[in-house]
Amino acid sequence: MKTAKPSPDALALHSNTQGEAHDHAHDHGHAHSHDVAKGASVESALAMAEAYCRERGEKLTPIRRKVLELLLASGRATKAYSLLDEMRQIHPGSAPPTVYRALDFLLSAGLIHRIESINAFAVCHDLTQCQHGILVVCQQCGNVTELHEPKLRQALVAQIEAAGYRLAGDGIELKGLCAQCQEIQASSAGKAVKADAAAAPEAAAQSSSVS
């Protein structure tokens, strides 16, 4: 993804929306959730994105802005057809090419990530200063976390290249199950065990009566 240095105004806004913890994000190991709306209002993030696009000599058109807004509001990786469905609720005449063109622009500007493993899109955690890290993607709910470990990434890329491969893109994705989905899974498993335990005496009683 292309990046550019934002203006002082954009940087000031970026500081307000991301919080003091971001100051060390690129110097130390850091994990960033894509739920940008938790750390800042969607409107503030959109204003930052618009300022960034102006710095690049480009325009965040109403359609592009709306697609980015939907991704910001989602807070997780979202598939293109889901975005199209949401767009049609707002603009009934929205066609697939309209959404895909907007996504292509946002990708080229470095405002969003394409999550290849689940064929979805997620907002870059810091929007205008995207530095490619390692993406950890929940295969259950689509939550995405960026790990900013430059040395680890460099070492991994070096190993990949030493094995004779060349990365097809900048992104490195790891598949997993987020903490929330793990809890849901564990809870479901626990309920299933309790249900089986409760059913066992009844089944035994029925078997005894038959015999």
Is 181 among the annotated ligand-binding positions? yes
Q: What is the CATH number of the domain that holds 127?
A: 1.10.10.10
Is 124 among the annotated ligand-binding positions? no
User: Does residue 167 share a domain with residue 101?
Assistant: yes
Integer angstrom CA distances of residue 90 from 82, 103, 162, 163, 167: 13, 17, 50, 49, 38
Residue 46 near residue 64, CB atoms below 8 Å: no
User: Does residue 124 share a domain with residue 28?
Assistant: yes
Put simply, whether the predicted model's pTM sits higher than 0.75 gets the answer no
User: Does residue 135 share a domain with residue 206?
Assistant: no
User: Does residue 100 share a domain with residue 41?
Assistant: yes
User: Does residue 165 share a domain with residue 65?
Assistant: yes
* Structural domain range at position 67: 8-177
Top-ranked range on mean pLDDT: pick from 48-62, 112-126, 160-174, 181-195: 48-62
Residue 2 in domain: no
Express each pLDDT in 51-70 by its tens digit. 999 999 999 999 999 999 99
Residue 1 in domain: no
Is 138 among the annotated ligand-binding positions? yes
pLDDT category at 145 given cuts 50, 70, 90 is: confident
